[in-house]
Amino acid sequence: MSTLRPAKITIWYILRENALQLIMYVLGAALMGLAWWPLAILYLALAAATNIFYMYWVCPYCGHYALGACAAGFDLLSGRRFRARLGRTFRGQFRLGTVVVGLGWFLPPLAALVLLIVRFSWVILVLLAVFCVVAFWLLPEVSKKHCDGCETVDCPRRPKEPRARD
Ligand code: SF4
């Protein structure tokens, strides 16, 4: 989730950049709700909580957050209220933040697999397939584009060579 923000940021730009993730959460809530309807609400609450945790745990260690240049708008959404702690690094914070936010990726397929075993349905199978395409293919592809424009050199996800000086 990183790229330089265009000069004029709008709420529509942020929504567009987060659209796939929002679609994934809606699909995930639908799958969880098919298991037991309150799970859909709990899943959406978990999605919100884990993203807030990510803003608190990871974002303050990212240059885009401090510079107000986060394409996902996490600096705006959090009001930049979270502060980095001395001695911590982006690399050190990233792994736990990714595991926590990753719950949103893995809980719906798990629920769908259980449902398919106990009461197979084509609706669940199709929802699962669409969820997996969005979560495990489209989102990583979009995120690659973001990563290409990011200067966070100690990112463990896509390490970058330091740029050669002119
Ligand atoms: S502030 Fe940095 S780490 Fe946080 S979402 Fe934006 S680009 Fe990603």
Going by pLDDT thresholds of 50, 70 and 90, the confidence category of residue 90 is very high
Residue 73 half-sphere exposure toward CB, CA atoms < 13 A: 13
C-alpha 115 – ligand 1 centre gap (Å): 35
Mean pLDDT of 79-83: 91
The more confidently predicted of residues 150 and 115 is 115
Tokens 């293919």 identify what position? 137
- CA neighbor of 80 nearest in space, from 116, 98, 55: 55
> What's the pLDDT score for residue 159?
65
Q: Is the CB of 72 under 6 A from ligand 1?
A: yes
Mean pLDDT of 149-156: 76
> What's the pLDDT score for residue 142?
85
Rounded to a whole number of angstroms, the distance between the first and last alpha carbons of the chain is 28
Contacts of 57 (CB under 8 A, 6+ apart): 93, 96, 97, 100
User: Longest C-alpha distance within the chain, in Å?
Assistant: 62
CA 61 to centroid of chain Cα atoms: 16
Going by pLDDT thresholds of 50, 70 and 90, the confidence category of residue 164 is very low
Going by alpha carbons, the residue nearest to atom 3 of ligand 1 is 59
C-alpha 27 – ligand 1 centre gap (Å): 24
Going by pLDDT thresholds of 50, 70 and 90, the confidence category of residue 1 is low
C-alpha 163 – ligand 1 centre gap (Å): 20
Q: Is the CB of 1 under 6 A from ligand 1?
A: yes
Going by alpha carbons, the residue nearest to atom 7 of ligand 1 is 2
Is residue 54 within 8 Å of residue 97, measured between CB atoms? yes
- Prediction pTM value: 0.87
Tokens 């510079």 identify what position? 67
Ligand 1 atom nearest to CA at 58: 3
Q: Which of 42-46, 68-72, 73-77, 120-124 is predicted least confidently?
A: 68-72
C-alpha 118 – ligand 1 centre gap (Å): 40
Is residue 151 within 8 Å of residue 135, measured between CB atoms? no
Assess whether pLDDT exceeds 90 at residue 17.
no
Q: How confident is the prediction for the chain on average, in pLDDT? A: 88
